[in-house]
């Protein structure tokens, strides 16, 4: 297993490895801060997503690149939205999605799939079977990131599902650190869901935000 990850980096530049490691560390920090409802989820996430977008662009994985490009945009939006509602836990509260937000989430999932597929087609990129997997994961992650910006507990359900999908995908592609990162993301997402659920269950109103 160790040889599998090491061999993937034999012909990779030191600069590339350093960038991937930085994205690895800041990505984990971002999920940890998200678990704690700390607004630092967004600045740390921005570092990780910007670097990862660049690395995936070089590797030619358009679907994954779009996911992280969107993460970058949503990190800026989420940073603003959480800040506007007040500092960390004293501001925006954890809630469940209402009916309208569920519909928007489903729509966002399918629109994302069609858009990413369209981009592959537009650039005449050969779509292999693993690309269909990351196209599907794109829809999950796009929706999950939007729910996170709104502090909806369902974001963690989507993160867990998406992480379980892309962890073996990145390992297959030889992106060892990203694969390990998403494996750690999966564990953190499970614990974060449980922590957010406990907070939500203990909320006096459990009011669903419109």
**Domains contained in the chain, number:** 1
Residue 50 within a domain:
yes
How confident is the model at residue 210, as a pLDDT?
41
Cβ within 8 Å of residue 59, ≥6 positions away: 173, 175
Residue 88 within a domain:
no
Determine the distance from the C-alpha atom of residue 20 to the mean position of all C-alpha atoms in its chain, rounded to a whole number: 16
Structural domain boundaries, residue 2: 1-83+96-202
For 135, the enclosing helix (H) or strand (E) is helix 129-149
Residue 185 within a domain:
yes
Low-confidence spans in the chain with pLDDT less than 70:
1-9, 62-64, 85-91, 204-210
Residue 139 within a domain:
yes
Residue 209 within a domain:
no
Residue 151 within a domain:
yes
How confident is the model at residue 119, as a pLDDT?
78
Q: Which neighbouring-strand residues pair with 42?
A: none
Residue 207 within a domain:
no
Proportion of the chain above pLDDT 70, given as a percent: 87
How confident is the model at residue 1, as a pLDDT?
53
How confident is the model at residue 191, as a pLDDT?
94
Q: Nearest-CA neighbor of 78 among 112, 125, 44? A: 44
Q: Nearest-CA neighbor of 155 among 208, 184, 196? A: 196
Residue 90 within a domain:
no
How confident is the model at residue 68, as a pLDDT?
76
How confident is the model at residue 205, as a pLDDT?
54
How confident is the model at residue 3, as a pLDDT?
60
How confident is the model at residue 140, as a pLDDT?
93
How confident is the model at residue 163, as a pLDDT?
93
pLDDT, tens only, 46-84: 999 899 888 878 877 766 677 778 778 888 888 888 887
How confident is the model at residue 130, as a pLDDT?
80
């Amino acid at each position: 297993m160790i040889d599998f990850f090491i061999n993937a980096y034999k012909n990779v530049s030191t600069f590339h490895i350093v960038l991937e490691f930085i994205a690895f560390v800041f990505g984990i920090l971002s999920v940890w801060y998200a678990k704690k409802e700390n607004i630092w989820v967004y600045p740390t996430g921005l570092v990780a997503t910007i670097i990862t977008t660049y690395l995936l662009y070089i590797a030619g994985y358009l679907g994954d690149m779009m996911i992280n490009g969107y993460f970058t945009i949503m990190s800026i939006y989420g940073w603003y939205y959480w800040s506007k509602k007040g500092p960390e836990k004293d501001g925006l509260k954890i809630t469940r999605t209402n009916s309208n937000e569920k519909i928007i989430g489903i729509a966002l999932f399918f629109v994302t799939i069609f858009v990413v597929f369209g981009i592959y087609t537009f650039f005449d990129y050969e779509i292999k079977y693993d690309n269909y997997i990351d196209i599907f994961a794109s829809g999950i992650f796009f929706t999950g990131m939007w729910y996170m910006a709104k502090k909806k507990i369902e974001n963690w359900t989507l993160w867990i599902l998406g992480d379980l999908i892309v962890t073996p995908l990145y390992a297959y592609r030889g992106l060892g650190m990203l694969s390990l990162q998403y494996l750690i993301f999966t564990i953190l997402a499970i614990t974060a869901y449980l922590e957010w659920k406990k907070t939500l269950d203990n909320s006096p109103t459990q009011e669903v935000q419109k």
